[in-house]
Amino acid sequence: MNKWQRILTILLLAQLALGVFVFWPRPAAGSGGQPLLGGLTADQITGLAITDEAGNVTKLAKQGDGWIAPEAGAYPADAAKVAPVLDKLIALKTGRLIAQTSQSHAQLQVADENFVRKIDITKADGTTQTVYLGSPAGGQAAHVRLAGQDNVYLGSGLASWEVDSSLLNWIDPIYVSFNAADLTGLTLENKNGEFALTRDAGGGWQLAGLGAGEMVDQDKVNNLVNALTSLRMTKPLGKTEDAAWGMAAPSATVMLQVKDGEQVKSTTLTLGAQDPADNSYAAKSSDSEFYVRVAEFAAQDLVERDRTGFLPATPTPAETAAPLPLGTPAP
């Protein structure tokens, strides 16, 4: 080994030693460490702003005893999804120190501009604390850092996927819901006409205006009904109608007659215009004060279905087999 090889070997060993020193977990003062967020309690948290690595942001705010999405017309968030995350945030401890220098932040994905999740926590006194949730560290653990500090800790019990930046993961995405067996009637109106269906005493579907010899394809109707029983939204839009949503000239309107105990309840679902950006449709149920968007695949059948969509397929006549060529007479 020549002189330069020895020098390079020494430098490499020094670099490895430095890496071990910087990133080796160290216990902080005290056996279990201190709460990362100090004495903050879950009931003192009044807001969350969750940002992912792509810059997508979801905001949640406390309202009374519940939570809402303030930028979606105060659409209610699911408190059962919010509460566990609050508990896990305040349970983060400083017991396992991973790094102490700002040079480590980018590598551990807890830097100001390079993170897996950035969680801005608004407190009851109006102040904010920011937690950076970084790269995973096995199981339910990730590197964490409190904004304004260099120290990076191993945060146990909270994974980045639990703090999703999509609002849909913080609300109930089911917009229309009913039991298919309770549906007694359905009327669909779209560009192809109006189609009224009623359920007969035997549980089968009948279509108004059937001609002699025509019958309903029960499977086609049931497929339509099943798609409506748990219609999902892609996002809430709020309570105030926007003319751009096209609700004044609907793409489709569905009127549902659903048994509710001894009564029959009427619900109307209106689909507005299709958004060219993502092909979704604006939608409004008479049972909700909120407008939402539904995916193209969930709305397209309602928009495009015509009368033949309720009837059995017309058999295609079998093609007549071409006659075999006659043999050539012998000379």
The answer to whether residue 31 scores a pLDDT higher than 60 is no
Mean pLDDT throughout 230-236?
A: 97
The answer to whether residue 3 scores a pLDDT higher than 90 is no
**Residue 22: band (very low, low, confident or very high) from pLDDT cuts 50, 70, 90:** very low
Contacts for 155 with CB less than 8 Å, ≥ 6 apart: 36, 92, 93, 133, 141, 142, 143, 144
In terms of pLDDT, which residue wins out, 193 or 13?
193
Work out the mean pLDDT of the chain and round it to a whole number: 90
- Partnered with residue 145 across adjacent β-strands are 132
- CATH numeric code, 174-310: 2.60.40
**Residue 320: band (very low, low, confident or very high) from pLDDT cuts 50, 70, 90:** very low
- Cβ atoms 86, 45 nearer than 8 A: yes
Mean pLDDT throughout 122-149?
A: 94
In terms of pLDDT, which residue wins out, 12 or 240?
240
Pairing of strands 141-146, 128-136: antiparallel
Mean pLDDT throughout 243-260?
A: 97
**Residue 139: band (very low, low, confident or very high) from pLDDT cuts 50, 70, 90:** confident
Most confident of 52-56, 135-139, 211-215, 319-323: 52-56
Mean pLDDT throughout 60-73?
A: 96
Specify the pTM: 0.80
pLDDT at 27: 46
The answer to whether residue 263 scores a pLDDT higher than 70 is yes
Q: At what angle do helices 218-229 and 296-304 cross, to 10 degrees?
A: 140
Residue 319: Cβ-neighbour burial (10 angstroms; 0-12, 13-18, 19+): exposed
pLDDT at 129: 97
In terms of pLDDT, which residue wins out, 329 or 36?
36
**Where does the chain hold its CATH 2.60.40 domain(s)?**
174-310
Rounded to the nearest 5°, which phi and psi values hold at 232? Answer: -95, 145
In terms of pLDDT, which residue wins out, 316 or 290?
290
**Residue 138: band (very low, low, confident or very high) from pLDDT cuts 50, 70, 90:** confident
The answer to whether residue 330 scores a pLDDT higher than 70 is no
Mean pLDDT throughout 232-255?
A: 97
pLDDT at 137: 87
Q: Which sign does the torsion angle of CA 52, 55, 56, 62 carry?
A: positive
- Cβ atoms 110, 100 nearer than 8 A: no
